[in-house]
Structure 1
């Protein structure tokens, strides 16, 4: 009986098809969140490098994009190299990005005239190869545009993050349309962590992994990024106290 040997040409074609379909190859490097509960849900144990990811805010955050922007900034803070941030609205608050570890000296800002120009800037930035993360704030992301960004990210190993923002909250339904991004996240603001004395504790988020290629969806109640861009599980959830289930129900609500 004839022994079949894997043809290297066929193997290469299969790998290319997998990349075009947005699949996650075994050799792809990742940027871990440092939270086992989250990293364990992601193929490879972290946010894939050389890939496109989407993030949007929940509730009113679908319009202001504040929590989604901080999520992207925290990823940029933990990455290596400069961060290219593309916008069409000049309302990005640099001091807030610095509070989660993304200092002004690491950010290159690009203000595009419209979203078509913004997508071109993102694609050029992703193909450059000398950047750590490329962030673009946009309302619409078609399958064709997302595939171009995904292929550009794969060619350089740079992380691409599409921060989805809309003019009106009703337009956020576009977030359900299919794209070529590997992961899709939604960040909703929760009441801050309680303190034993009067004051405002560390901000909390409901972090939803809505879609993950080659993985499963999940949601997590987390503390917002610290000065080094690191998110964490609230202490009562880490230690598995009786309040854990109550906290999860409140987060889901």
Structure 2
């Protein structure tokens, strides 16, 4: 005797429909995505860039000064591109003013674009960042902390969505033996940044700084890692020549095969 196929469960269909609607709504409320302008990065990001209404976390690959500086400049370059239009301002909240202003300016974030806020501790910095996000008039917020639990990151994510303003949470190393990104977070993306050797020049001199960037986590997408050339004076990354040549060759071969 042939058995009839089971009827679909209406309640399950309704749940799937509601879930799809929630995903669409979440994407619409994230705000415009800011692309890196590097296909090898943008093509791997769910939004083909960084959401302009979300929390993004950044940390140095290690506690070494070179990696710490690379992470700070990576964040500054992103903020500079969010604030590229005239009249836009970035809020940088921190507990200790140890930024090297000329270095920040070299990646496109000059003094006219920056507003600093100094707190006594991480809790103060997180509160300052949340206020800045909810104000809605800033191009971007950067907050430097060593400690931010999941509740704090959830508050920042909600404030970013409410104010349609991106926040870059720069997680400083609390311990040399533990990554700041080990703890759970509500961030949309989480990045580790470190210094790597520059591309050799055909003549005497120092080449453009290079970084290793690793997307540890992104909502709805896969992690990846890539070596890039550091931000230029517009906050833009680039692929080292060898990687760019391989990407071009690969694309040409694919077109030829097609």
Q: TM-score range with shorter-chain normalisation?
A: 0.7 to 0.9
2:128 pairs with one of 121, 126, 133: 121
Q: Cα–Cα, structure 1 residues 115 and 27, in superposed 2: closer, same or farther, change >3 Å?
A: closer
Cα distance between partner residues in 1 of 2:163 and 2:169: 17
Alpha-carbon offset, residue 24 of structure 1: 4.8
**Which residue matches 1:206?**
212
| Alpha-carbon distance between aligned partners in 2 of 1:149 and 1:166, rounded to the nearest angstrom | 20
Query: Equivalent residue for 2:151?
Result: 144
C-alpha displacement at 1:62, in angstroms? 7.4
Tell me how far 1:174 sits from its aligned partner: 4.1
* Cα distance in structure 2, aligned partners of 1:62 and 1:165: 11
The yes-or-no answer on 1:25 pairing with 2:32 is no
Secondary structure in 2 matching 1:161: strand
The offset of 1:168, in angstroms, is: 3.5
Deviates more, 1:148-157 or 1:63-72: 63-72
CA contact (8 A) 2:61 2:179 kept: no
- Aligned partner (choices 81, 86, 99) of residue 93 of structure 2: 86
Report Cα offsets for 1:172-224 as digits up to 9, x if no partner: 33421110000000001001121111111000011000001111000011000
Tell me, which stretches of 5 or more residues in structure 1 are unaligned? Answer: 245-253
Match status 1:230 vs 2:236: yes
Residue 249 of structure 1 aligns with which residue? none
| RMSD between superposed Cα atoms in Å | 2.5
Partners of 2:191 and 2:215 within 8 A in 1: yes
The Cα of 1:67 is off from its aligned counterpart by 1.0
2:119 maps to which residue? 112
Q: Give 1:49's match in structure 2, choosing from 52, 71, 80.
A: 52
Match of 2:38 in 1: 35
Query: Contact (CA 8 Å) 1:63, 1:168: kept in 2 or not?
Result: no
Q: Which string of whole-angstrom CA distances, capped at 9 and with x for unpartnered residues, describes residues 8-51 of structure 1?
A: xx979x64xx69xxx95156410000001100111121011100
Structure 2: which 5+ runs fail to align? 1-9, 251-258
Q: 1:237 to 1:41 in 2, by over 3 A?
A: same
Distance 1:187 1:224, change over 3 A: same
Find the aligned partners of 1:124 and 1:62 in 2 and give their Cα distance: 30
**In 2 relative to 1, CA 40–61 (structure 1 residues): closer, same or farther, beyond 3 Å?**
farther
Q: Distance in 2 between matches of 1:63 and 1:140?
A: 21
2:228 and 2:26 map into 1 onto residues whose CA distance is 26
Q: CA deviation at 1:169?
A: 1.1
**C-alpha spacing 1:53/1:207, structure 2 compared with 1 (3 Å):** same
Bigger radius of gyration: 2
Instruction: Give aligned pairs, total.
Output: 228
State the 1:65 CA deviation: 2.3
Normalised TM-score (structure 1)? 0.84
Task: Name the SS for the 1:25 alignment partner.
Answer: helix
TM (norm. structure 2) is: 0.82
